[in-house]
Structure 1
Amino acid sequence: MEITKISRVFLHKQNGQEVRLADPGEQLTKEDVRNFYANIYPILTTAKIRGPEFRDDEMQYHFETSMGTKG
């Protein structure tokens, strides 16, 4: 039996491109990670967090923002 550690990855879109953000610490909650990256990407301060989705041995969380969209 082989045990594979699943890593967390955080994704958000910037200018139409998906940006992969590494997990700054597995002890942090997903909200803590959002706050950590909000210092670099201020738009994340109001982002909703969707996930996790399990893909390719990763646990993916998506930061979704509504700023800049119409409707």
Structure 2
Amino acid sequence: MAVIVNNTRTFHYVEQGETEIVELTDPNPDFSVEEVLNFYTTAYPTLTTATIMPPKVTTDGRISYTFASTVGTKG
């Protein structure tokens, strides 16, 4: 018998050079991870160049995605 598990997704945003992690709610469970990233670009413009880090499964079974900003300073 197959067991279907509905994992809840969590999203986090880390801006390059910063230590603060912003937790983002899942706007729509039907969105792909890329669609979630695009959804948040209006609130966080640096997400337009962000990298989607590989997902991690938390101890409570949630799937956690991190959007890491790749915008930095020259030098």
Q: TM-score range by the shorter chain?
A: 0.7 to 0.9
Who is 2:28 aligned against? 25
* SS of residue matched to 1:31: helix
Indicate the percent of aligned positions where both proteins have the same amino acid.
39
| TM norm structure 2 | 0.78
Structure showing greater radius of gyration is: 2
Gaps of 5+ in 1: none
Q: Deviations over 1:13-50 (max 9, x none)?
A: 24420111010001100000000000100000111101
* SS of residue matched to 1:10: strand
Q: Partners in 1 of 2:33 and 2:12 — Cα distance?
A: 12
Who is 1:57 aligned against? 61
Gaps of 5+ in 2: none
After superposition, the CA RMSD in angstroms is 2.0
| TM norm structure 1 | 0.82
Aligned residues: 69
Who is 1:9 aligned against? 10
Q: Greater strand percent: which structure? A: 1
Structure 1 segments of 4 or more deviating over 3 A?
A: none
